[in-house]
Amino acid sequence: MSAAHSTAAQDTAAELDRVSLSALSWLHGHLPDFRLPEDVTAPEVSRSLTLKPLAELAEISSNTLRVSPAGSVQHQLAGELLDFAWCETGQGELLQTLARGEPYATYPLEVYGAFAEAGLRHPQFEEFARFIATTRAWGLAEHEPTRKLALLNVQRRLGVCPGPDWPEDGPGAGIEARIADAYRAEAKFDEAMRRTWLGGLAEPWTFEVHAGYALTHYVFHVTNWGAEPERLPVEVCDHLTLWLPAWLDSCAESELWDLTGELLAVAASLPGSGPWQVPVAEVWGAYARAQNAAGAIAESGPPPAVDVRPVPGSRESFLSCYHSTLVGAFAAVLTAARIRAAAVPPDAAPGLSRAPAPESGTRAAPVPSTSGGGRS
């Protein structure tokens, strides 16, 4: 790598650092909006408006903590966000209560996985999860393929083998049995991968919002949020390398910033040369302009109005941008990490494009329909 390209790569990483630091600072300032109500376990309390934001905070902060440079402000902020989320669950006690109340609900285990991978454990919850995962009811529950991948990934994170294909006496304890269990788990993972929109290599022109989120979550679950890029099948990597540029351009031109951020994280999760396999500089430039001065990023449309400071009870504005801001922080930290770790090809042109966004109507791919669904 030439000195000029090395300098340009470092400049790009520094610009991405500014995006991530601003986003994490906004999230840190809005921690009161992530607090759970005292009656969070009551049936009438919406999980989507209470536990879901906290779960997403835990997942993104855990992975941001993993990829951010030790000693950086981003690393410190991500750790504080994760500690806050863990405290809100009563150090896992809430998840234990929810799991016992709904034994075959998957969300307590999915939420717990982010904490456990960061070293925050609740032994009693894990003991219960290991038991439930061996039941026929758990293994036979029907999930759409991308959600199945999410569940299999968290079970892989925790070393909880999926049922129900065990002998009468359950999964084995010996080394040979454990190896057989591992093969069985990977076979289930491979089967779920093939049944997804991306894993089945669906026609690229069928890309729309729902397919876009299915695509990004396929990559997140298969690679464990960018930690294991080599787990992506070769044909899927080739498909993404070819079509991500068009999908990214289309989403950015349509100002679908939440999905754009997830696709940028996907670009940084590819094996090999990472972000430089896919030309992302111009999209990153547009994405950075979509962030307001306080650090927030709207799910779609123009930057959010700048809030001078968090206003208690202003949940509507918070709910409209917290997820996209979480995604922006993670995507920026992951991309910067890959830039610093990878050798940039000589013909690459890193550096965020600060040119005006392309005029509407000049799309490289069909505009994603917003009628197909949204983020999970």
Vertex 325, ends 319 and 330: CA angle to 5°? 140
Task: Give the pLDDT score at 159.
Answer: 79
Spatial separation of the C-alpha atoms in residues 146 and 313, rounded to whole Å? 34
Residue 17 three-state SS: helix
H/E element, 116: helix 107-117
Length of the chain: 376
This prediction's pTM: 0.86
Nearest to 328 by CA among 30, 114, 14, 17: 17
Q: Where in the sequence is the domain holding 336, given as residue range(s)?
A: 1-16+201-376
Query: Can you read off the two tokens belonging to residue 37?
Result: 């109500």
Task: Give the pLDDT score at 160.
Answer: 79
Residue 1 domain-assigned (yes or no)? yes
Spatial separation of the C-alpha atoms in residues 303 and 328, rounded to whole Å? 13
Residue 31 domain-assigned (yes or no)? no
pLDDT tens per residue across all 376 residues of the chain: 556 556 777 788 899 999 999 999 999 999 999 999 999 999 899 999 999 999 999 999 999 999 999 999 999 999 999 999 999 999 999 999 999 999 989 999 999 999 999 999 999 999 999 898 888 888 888 888 999 999 999 988 887 766 554 444 445 455 555 545 555 667 788 888 999 999 999 999 999 999 999 999 999 999 999 999 999 999 999 999 999 999 999 999 999 999 999 999 999 999 975 556 788 989 999 999 999 999 999 999 999 987 645 555 567 789 999 999 999 999 999 999 999 887 444 344 344 543 343 333 333 333 344 334 455 4
Query: Can you read off the two tokens belonging to residue 365?
Result: 């791919």
Look-up of token digits 């536990």? 51
Asked whether 329 and 59 are in contact (CB, 8 A), the reply is: no
Residue 299 domain-assigned (yes or no)? yes
Q: Which residues, including other chains, have CB under 8 Å from residue 376's CB and lie 6 or more apart? A: 146, 147, 213, 217
Residue 109 domain-assigned (yes or no)? no
pLDDT digits (tens, 9 = 90+) for 110-135: 999 999 999 999 999 999 998 988 88
Asked whether 214 and 330 are in contact (CB, 8 A), the reply is: no
Task: Give the pLDDT score at 174.
Answer: 56
Residue 84 domain-assigned (yes or no)? no
Query: Can you read off the two tokens belonging to residue 274?
Result: 């990472």
Nearest to 20 by CA among 261, 279, 250: 261
pLDDT digits (tens, 9 = 90+) for 300-327: 999 998 764 555 556 778 999 999 999 9
Spatial separation of the C-alpha atoms in residues 144 and 314, rounded to whole Å? 34
Asked whether 274 and 334 are in contact (CB, 8 A), the reply is: no
Whether a cis peptide bond, with omega within 30° of 0, leads into 164 is yes
Nearest to 197 by CA among 229, 154, 227, 240: 240
The residue type of 168 is E
Residue 261 domain-assigned (yes or no)? yes
Spatial separation of the C-alpha atoms in residues 354 and 357, rounded to whole Å? 8
Residue 217 domain-assigned (yes or no)? yes
Task: Give the pLDDT score at 251.
Answer: 98
Task: Name the domain count of the chain.
Answer: 1
Residue 183 domain-assigned (yes or no)? no
